[in-house]
Structure 1
Amino acid sequence: MPNTQVMTTMAGQPLRVEVDGHHYRVAADPVRWYERRAWWTEVDRAPKDQCPYLVDREVWQVQVTVDLPAGARRRRGAVRDRELRTLHLERDRATGGWDVVENL
């Protein structure tokens, strides 16, 4: 699983994403939804205070582009580097951590 860091707005919406040392900025409005999960296949018991986090998982679809330093944006070929990629990110609501669940 890739090492993922996400910088968010105060409301929790992704702004910047780092995946295995590669830096991206969110280039379009992200989309959030919740999916049911088969939590009973992941844990033996559901702790009382974590039940809401076990039932659903929070997923964000983000379109990102390579986050180039200001000086690099002017160089030749920078347009090619700025192509959009789509990522599906899952936020662990218990820990606040993020994972890439799908890289489209």
Structure 2
Amino acid sequence: MGTFSESVNVVRSAEGALVQLWWRGRLYDLAAEPLCWYERRPWWESETRMRPGEGVGYVDTQMWRVQVRQDGATELLTLDLVRYRPSDRWRVIKIHDALDEKFKELQEGA
């Protein structure tokens, strides 16, 4: 599937780790350790000036790739999330197709 943007609620442990997602009215448990990285965004296109200390979330965007499953299900769902700071809003921006993932595995093994 392509890229889009849809709101998601993230549930964290007491230590701050991602453990569950509420998305589209369903609860999903994390099935694997999530991957986190940062992407630089062209902040200068929307912000002409930032005051000192206000750069959090403007320069870099925190991205997450998670594998989740619904309670009792065996099928995994791989999602890319974005965390907007400082508001701490989360959005699903990509749903990975299981066939795409399998193709990547086959390519890496070749």
Q: TM-score, normalised by structure 2?
A: 0.72
- 1:16 correspondence with 2:20: yes
**Separation of aligned partners in 2, 1:4 and 1:14:** 12
CA-to-aligned-CA distance 1:24-56 (integer Å, 9 cap, x gap) = 110001111111111123334324332132110
Q: CA RMSD in A?
A: 1.8
Alpha carbons of structure 1 residues 21 and 47: separation in structure 2 relative to 1, 3 Å: farther
Q: Answer whether contact 1:50 1:94 (CA < 8 A) is retained.
A: no
- 1:57 correspondence with 2:49: no
Q: How many residues align?
A: 92
Q: Answer whether contact 2:6 2:93 (CA < 8 A) is retained.
A: no
- Structure 2 unmatched ranges of 5 or more: 97-110
Residue number in structure 1 paired with 2:47: 43
Q: Answer whether contact 2:34 2:64 (CA < 8 A) is retained.
A: yes
Q: Which runs of 4+ in 1 moved over 4 A?
A: none
Q: TM-score, normalised by structure 1?
A: 0.76
**Separation of aligned partners in 2, 1:38 and 1:50:** 16
Alpha carbons of structure 1 residues 21 and 44: separation in structure 2 relative to 1, 3 Å: farther
**Separation of aligned partners in 1, 2:85 and 2:39:** 13
Share of identical aligned residues, percent? Answer: 33
Report the Cα offset of residue 58 of structure 1: 0.7
CA-to-aligned-CA distance 1:46-99 (integer Å, 9 cap, x gap) = 243321321101111100001x3xxxx4xxxxxxx4300101111112011111
Q: Answer whether contact 1:91 1:99 (CA < 8 A) is retained.
A: yes
- 1:27 correspondence with 2:19: no
- 1:88 correspondence with 2:92: no
